[in-house]
Each structure stands twice: as C-alpha cells, then as structure tokens.
Chain A
Amino acid sequence: MAVKDKEKIVSREFPEYIRDPNPDVGLDESIKDLKPEQIEKTIMAVLGAQTARIRAVMETCIHCGLCSEACQWYLSSDKDPTFAPVAKMKMTAWEMLKRKGKVDAEFIKQAARIVFTECNICHRCSMYCPYGLDITFIIGLVRRICFVLGVVPQRMMDQDHSHATVLNQVWYTQNDWVDTMQWQEEEVGAEFKDLRIPIDKEGAEIIWYPLGGEPKTNTYHIERTAKIMMVAGVDWTVAGRDVWDTSNMPMFLRDFTTMNRVVRGLYDNAARLRVKKMALTE
C-alpha cells in the first residue's frame, strides 16, 4: 500500500528531503532530553576541531556532485539528489558548522537518520571524488556526534551496549561462550571421534575468532569450522577468555573507547596464547 503524501517526513531545512516514516525508539525517544547547550558543545568538540582531515574537506569540496554516482543509495533511489554523498555532508556536517553547533534536537534526529540509515560508510565516494576527499570520515564524525548525544537507532545502540558490557555483540558471558564451544565439540563427537575444539591452547598455529552471531544463532558454523580444521590438520585454538567476537559494532557508531577495547582484546588473546596467525570469519 502506498504511503500518502501527508504521512511522509519532509525536512524543515531541506524541502527536497522527503522520506517514508521509519519510527525508531533510539531516534524518536532519545532526542527528548537533549539540551541545546549540550548539542552545541558536542558538535563543536567533534567537528569544530582544527584537524587536517576535517579542514581539507571543508576547504576543498567544490560542490561538483561527481561523488553521487559512487553511492549505492543514490543509484538505487532513482538518483534522488538528497542521497548523494555530498548532499549528506551538506545536510549534516556543513549545516552544523554553518550554524556553529546551534541546532535543535529535531535536527540531530534528522542527521542521525541520514548518517545511520542512509549511508553504509563504504568509502566508495572518496574513490570517485576528483580530490579524493574523505567524505566517509565526515559522515563518521556526525555518527560520533549522534552517538555521544545518545541518538542512535535502537538496534545499533543495543549492539554497542553489548560490546561495552561483555565485549561481544550478542550479550554472551564467558560461560555462555565456553559452554557453546564444548557443546559443539560434543555434538560433532557422534560423527567424528577425534574432533576437538581446543580452548586456550598455548602455542597453537592459528587462533580462530568468530562473529558474535555464530555461537548465538548459527552454531553449525562452529562445528563446520572445527571439521575443516580437523581435516586440514591445522593446529588451532579458540580464545577461552574475552575478546573472541570480531564484529566490532562500536566502530560503526564511532564509539572509540569500546572499539579500542575490542581490537586490543583480540590482539591480547593472540599474544597470550603465542599463536602465529589470527583467522577471522567474514
């Protein structure tokens, strides 16, 4: 059923920006407590910084629109100009800087909508820009502003909270993780007598790190990985301690603290077990 015109979202600042409604608690509810001075302070702290990567984009972009053909959002939306990468910068970062951070909560919601739900931060636009400007970096900074203000789509924020709490995206405690590994080993025992999933084996050649979803919902990935490793005769192990999940969701929110903890944890485990290589699922 087609959505009626009056039910569409139309931007106040940019009348060309028209979208179907897409309610999300993370955006609709979280903007209610935002104070103007809080918004201003956050924007100026993140975007107002005099750093080369920000200033280079702001002082070079000639508004030529040549980045648009790079964007899958633009191409798959009948070349709607509001989906072009440069348009996304104009509607978020440029407007924030133009108004020196003095924007209201509604504007932050619109910016969050654009940077989280209409951009995949894939970096293709930078490869189509004649100057090679890092557009994705600017979009990432707007994501950071929204994250610091707590205006993030609910599912993404939940994954980030999970990472911040248990260092994986599926709310698994260390017990759950070790238990899943042992359960899978037992499960495959019926088929393969010698199959083992070595946990915390020091000096192994490879440490295997899954994505969070694998022990949670796709446990067959684990038994298959174990079978492959056994048949290939690889000396491998999985981490018995956190961190074991490589899906670094905090990176997509630009939650630098948690992002850092995840990557550091992966390397710490590899160093602790003195493995030679890290193998990741993708």
Chain B
Amino acid sequence: MLDFIRDPSIYNLVRGPFVWITFLVFIGMSIYKVRRLYLMAKNEKVVLPSINGVAARRSILHWVVPFGSRNWRMRWPITVTTFVFHIGLVFTPIFLLSHNILWYESWGISWWSLPEKTADIMTLLVIITCIVFFLRRIFAPEVRFVTSADDFLILGISFFPFLTGFLAYHDLLLPYKTMVILHMLFGEAMLIAIPFTRLAHMFYFFMTRAFMGSQAAGWGGKDW
C-alpha cells in the first residue's frame, strides 16, 4: 500500500490497493453468500432438520475422492481431468514459491512451498485441462446444449491467471513486468468473481452435498 503512495505506478496499484480490495471483497462476499444460503435454508423448515451429519460427511468424502462415487468411476476421463484441474487450481496459487515470497514481504508470513518444477507442471496441467473443458463444451452434445456465454466466461476467468502466470514465469510473449501486471489483474478478477458467479460452487459444493447426502440417507440409499 505504501509503495503505491510513494510511486503510483500501475504495478504498484495492482500489487497494493487492488490486492486489498480483492481480499476484502472475496472474503466478505463469500461469508455473506454462505450465510445467506444458510439463513434461507433455515427459513425453509424442511432443509435443516433433514441434515444428517454422518451421511453428509460420507457424501462429501466420496465425491472429493477421485473415483469415490459411481459417476466418477463411470466417466474416468472426466474424473481425471476435473481432479487434475481442481487440485492445480486450488493448491498451485497457495503453495507457489513466488506467492509465498510476496506474502513474506508484505505480511511476514510464509509456509511450505512447492518445488518450482512441480508448480510449473501443475500450472501447465491446469491450462491443458481448461482447454479440455473448452473442447468438451463445444463437442460433447449434452454439454453443448446447456452451454451459454457465461460458461465460457467462467472458464476464461479460471484460465487466464494460469496462462499469464505461466507465460510470465517463462518470460514469453510480453515483457515480464507487463505479463505480471496482467497476471495479477486476472488473478484478482478471479477471486472477486468467485462469490458473484457460479464459481461459488467452491463453497456451495459442501452445502448442497450435505443436503443431498442426507436426503439419500433418508430414502435408505446413498448418493455416490
């Protein structure tokens, strides 16, 4: 923040104030959205009383483990793609060495980080799986029929931070600093977009799964 006041350049803008705004909006809105869905569920009378803790936990567990559910086993190419994509999407940014250094410089905190080579491969895998999802949206008939423009927007939101990060790391296409500014802008756009778009499935996943897992247990079945 102080860097921006001393030297108001674009780099210091996206590196300083924008990061603060992003984290505030992302964390604040995410809490708001989860709380809102919870309060709506509370008003609905039948939702919360039907929640069965054991069934909810088992349902979530079976669906976050690769091949843990019947549908994951039936469609192994999609299962592999989606798990590679999501693991890369969530863990690469958190455990990337360069990000760790930024946190250390700003707030004096840091944690375990991925080897550079591993992180590079994970980023590349996220880019490739994004392209697979894109092609699937175009060529799989059942997906194409329900695809609209915002689906491509959501895909783009998660694709560009990784593409620009990869290009910046390898110093390709654009000068390093320009690419890093683009990378930070796209990354901030992604975090802000999460609570406002269907990327909110990041936390809604656990809530909807808990409900359906409990419902299925109530019918005497299982939903995995």
Are A56 and B151 CB-contacts (below 8 A) given A50-B40, A63-B143?
A: no
Are A63 and B151 CB-contacts (below 8 A) given A52-B40, A127-B223?
A: yes
Q: How far is the CA of A87 from the CA of B145 in the complex (A)?
A: 7
The answer to whether the Cβ of A126 comes within 8 Å of any Cβ in the partner chain is yes
Q: Which residues of A contact B208 (CB under 8 A)?
A: 56-57, 60, 131-134
Which stretch of B41-49, B91-99, B122-130 is in the interface?
B41-49
Is the Cβ of A62 less than 8 Å from the Cβ of B200? no
The answer to whether the Cβ of A84 comes within 8 Å of any Cβ in the partner chain is yes
B81 CB, min distance to chain A CBs, angstroms: 11
Are A131 and B141 CB-contacts (below 8 A) given A60-B200, A69-B75?
A: no
Q: How far is the CA of A159 from the CA of B59 in the complex (A)?
A: 37
Are A60 and B75 CB-contacts (below 8 A) given A52-B40, A132-B208, A134-B212?
A: no
Q: How far is the CA of A60 from the CA of B34 in the complex (A)?
A: 12
Is the Cβ of B70 less than 8 Å from the Cβ of A65? no
The answer to whether the Cβ of A9 comes within 8 Å of any Cβ in the partner chain is no
Q: How far is the CA of A126 from the CA of B212 in the complex (A)?
A: 7
Is the Cβ of A84 less than 8 Å from the Cβ of B146? yes
Q: Which residues of A contact B222 (CB under 8 A)?
A: 127
The answer to whether the Cβ of A59 comes within 8 Å of any Cβ in the partner chain is yes
Q: Is the interface of B mostly helix, strand, loop or mixed?
A: helix
The answer to whether the Cβ of B209 comes within 8 Å of any Cβ in the partner chain is yes
Candidates A51, A74, A130, A132; contact of B44 at CB < 8 Å: A51
The answer to whether the Cβ of A86 comes within 8 Å of any Cβ in the partner chain is yes
Is the Cβ of B198 less than 8 Å from the Cβ of A132? no
A91 CB, min distance to chain B CBs, angstroms: 9
Is the Cβ of A134 less than 8 Å from the Cβ of B74? no
Interface size on A, residues (CB 8 A): 38
Most buried by B among A63, A79, A129: A63
The answer to whether the Cβ of A81 comes within 8 Å of any Cβ in the partner chain is yes
Q: How far is the CA of A16 from the CA of B146 in the complex (A)?
A: 11
Is the Cβ of B142 less than 8 Å from the Cβ of A84? yes
Chain A minimum-CB-distance residue to B221: A127
**Interface residues as binary, A71-90 with B (CB distance below 8 Å gives 1, 0 otherwise):** 00010000101101011001
Are A16 and B145 CB-contacts (below 8 A) given A66-B71, A132-B223?
A: yes
**Interface residues as binary, B107-151 with A (CB distance below 8 Å gives 1, 0 otherwise):** 000000000000000000000000000000000111111111001
Chain B minimum-CB-distance residue to A64: B143
B83 CB, min distance to chain A CBs, angstroms: 11
Q: How far is the CA of A123 from the CA of B37 in the complex (A)?
A: 22
Is the Cβ of A131 less than 8 Å from the Cβ of B201? yes
| In the complex, number of A-B residue pairs with CB atoms less than 8 Å apart | 115
Q: Which of B29-56 contact A (CB under 8 A)?
A: 37-38, 40-41, 43-44, 47
Q: Which of B203-224 contact A (CB under 8 A)?
A: 204-205, 207-209, 211-213, 215-216, 219, 221-224
The answer to whether the Cβ of B1 comes within 8 Å of any Cβ in the partner chain is no
The answer to whether the Cβ of B189 comes within 8 Å of any Cβ in the partner chain is no
The answer to whether the Cβ of B84 comes within 8 Å of any Cβ in the partner chain is no
The answer to whether the Cβ of B63 comes within 8 Å of any Cβ in the partner chain is yes
Chain B minimum-CB-distance residue to A83: B142
The answer to whether the Cβ of B163 comes within 8 Å of any Cβ in the partner chain is no
Candidates A50, A59, A66; contact of B75 at CB < 8 Å: A66
Are A131 and B205 CB-contacts (below 8 A) given A52-B37, A61-B198, A81-B145?
A: yes
Most buried by A among B47, B140, B143, B146: B146
The answer to whether the Cβ of A68 comes within 8 Å of any Cβ in the partner chain is yes
Chain A minimum-CB-distance residue to B203: A60
Is the Cβ of A81 less than 8 Å from the Cβ of B63? no
The answer to whether the Cβ of B25 comes within 8 Å of any Cβ in the partner chain is no
Q: Which residues of B contact A127 (CB under 8 A)?
A: 70, 212, 216, 221-224
Is the Cβ of B223 less than 8 Å from the Cβ of A55? no
Q: Which of B168-224 contact A (CB under 8 A)?
A: 198, 200-201, 204-205, 207-209, 211-213, 215-216, 219, 221-224
Q: How far is the CA of A70 from the CA of B154 in the complex (A)?
A: 25
The answer to whether the Cβ of B78 comes within 8 Å of any Cβ in the partner chain is yes
Interface residues of A (CB under 8 A from B): 14, 16, 50-53, 55-57, 59-66, 68-70, 74, 79, 81-82, 84, 86-87, 90, 123, 126-134
12 more contacts with CB within 8 A, not counting A69-B74, A126-B223, are A56-B211, A63-B146, A65-B142, A65-B143, A66-B71, A69-B75, A81-B144, A81-B146, A84-B142, A84-B146, A126-B215, A130-B63
A–B Cβ pairs within 8 angstroms, 14 of them: A16-B145, A51-B40, A52-B40, A56-B208, A62-B154, A65-B143, A68-B142, A69-B71, A84-B145, A126-B215, A126-B223, A127-B212, A130-B205, A131-B201
